[in-house]
Chain A
Amino acid sequence: MRKLILSLLAVLLITGVSLADGKKYGTGVTLKEVTKISTIFENPEEYTGKKVVVEGMIVDVCSKRGCWMEIASDKEFEKIRVKVEDGEIVFPLEAKGKNALVEGMVEKIEMTKEQAIERAKHHAEEVGQKFDPASVTGPEVFYQIRGLGAVIK
């Protein structure tokens, strides 16, 4: 019995090591072609609803649930948010500063002023910053990637 339990533990540990070695999240990356983030932002309507793979440095991660991360663009001062379903994929905070390949659908988010205030308020709470509703001046439209999978290097 003891031998059986020890053998089982050994198998589990070996399996665990090999699983931990993989830094694939969700479905991983299936498309071969990488689209530049700046290209998406140059003509976002063309990419809306399409599946893309983007690559870049992870510059922010949702500290509460790991349900989003932001990827730096190839263009300076530009980044794109990758949002995943809560609990489906959990990005680790340690990923900040690492490189990632992300696959997902480009989506257009249109928000009323009230929704934009709520979103900004929620974000400020997440990062522990003070929130000024006056900082949101009107309705917002932005593009993000609905993440399906990622590989963090």
Chain B
Amino acid sequence: MQTSYPGRTHSSLTQLSKSARNQSVSKLALRSTVGVVLFLSTVPIIYLFIRAGQKPFGQSIDLLFREKTLRVLGTTAILVLAVVALTLLIGVTLASALHFIKLPFPSILIIPTVLPLAIPSYVFTYTWIAFVPSFSGIFAAIFILTLSTVPYVILATLAGLRSVDESQIEVARSLGLTNTEIFFRVVLPQIKGHVSAGVLLTALYTLSDFGAVSLLNVESLTVTIQNLYRASYDRGAAAVIALVLIAFSTIVVIVDDRVKNRAKVGEAVKVQTSKQVLIESNRTRFFTLFVLINLFTLSIVIPFYVLITRFLDNRVTIKWPDLLSASLSTLLVAAIGAVIALVLAAPLGILLSGRSDKFTRFAQRIITVGHGLPGVVVGLALVSIGSKLGVIYQTIFFLGFAYALLFLAKLVASINASLARVPSGVKDVATSLGANPWAVIKKVVAPIAAPGISLGTILVFLTAMKELPVTLMLRPTGFETLATEIWSSAAINRFNEAAPYALILVLIAALPTFLLSRPDKADRMFVNESMGSEK
């Protein structure tokens, strides 16, 4: 059952030794590159400190401790905790069910659980408000944000489950443990790290979301920040509150760190779930299908129903050329963002694959903390710097760069998760056989990390397609994406006119989402490919 390590790595490693001096030089180069990336990703935070510093200290203190700040902080905490708890419950249960229960067409059943990623939270919220006119308030926000972020937890949990050592499950079963006991005592400890990574993305998404909370009249920190920016042209106050948000996301990152440190790292790379561990029980099967159908209805059928009826109600002739060019623009700039993110994340990913030291862990945490910032903050920081750069400002490259900074943490998280699956033993063996770090990366780490990297890149691509506030600020003048077109109709209440753009956006975004739902296939492809040399 266990898949052995590709044989070809062994044979090639011995030829690949280089001098120790070269190693340290390349390591230094790598570290300085990571330093640069780290600096770039802290730009928004530095900007916030500068802006906040321009506000008289006393005023900042008053702002921090006014009753309203505390109230908003409370609302935000409730929102984050509730969404985390619900996504954890739903996400882990569903992912485990999809993994362990024998279901018809399992790979098709995964798709609807991941598909909500294709729907921007503002579109999701609009459709629900249209469907239930009184839809508003914190429960509505928890509902929307849970449905929008549960795919992160499902994807992460599924990735974790694929690396669970099944021999332990079989042993536990032979000892007479029930499935529930096995889950909590054998499976959960092994997937904790993965689950935590998914929950981290969920928590940071909830912290930084503006679309859903503002439409539902829930005053979270992002809404306060936006209100302060929009209204007070003194940007210091907004910066002070944004730093509160940074503190909040720092706590989230620290919690995630703690969970990960206590998690056991799965040492075995599993590819397929063996028949023996699958649960065959009609009750669990029906329950799983029931939950799946409900989730599908709430997060896919209803939004689509509303978008399609709005689309049919739209009496204004659709401007097809606009629709086409907005679609192409969206794809182009999101692709540029994903590529830049990949380039920026690569050096850190390589460092993370080695022995993690303080510097790498610090870099990773800082990048992740910044992920909790709302788009408007990152956008204005980049406007401030970008406008001084002349020709590059308001080009598709600069917008792509902004996307990369905004979503870098997603890529870093998935690279990190997939690297956790590289057993350190294999790296050690390779190193002791005389392979230099580059060779270890190229021959051992990269192939195993590849699926995670490609999934992370797809995730950046997907989120960039839906991004609005930064796009509004940094797109080239006159360059419209699907998101900005939706905004310009929605801003004047022409929801029917926004519907075609929203439909196209969701449909286009659904394509990379399918890829996300099939990581198992990507894994299998890799294994078949690399095992070819053995056969």
Q: Do A and B bind each other?
A: no
Report A's interface with B, CB cutoff 8 A: none
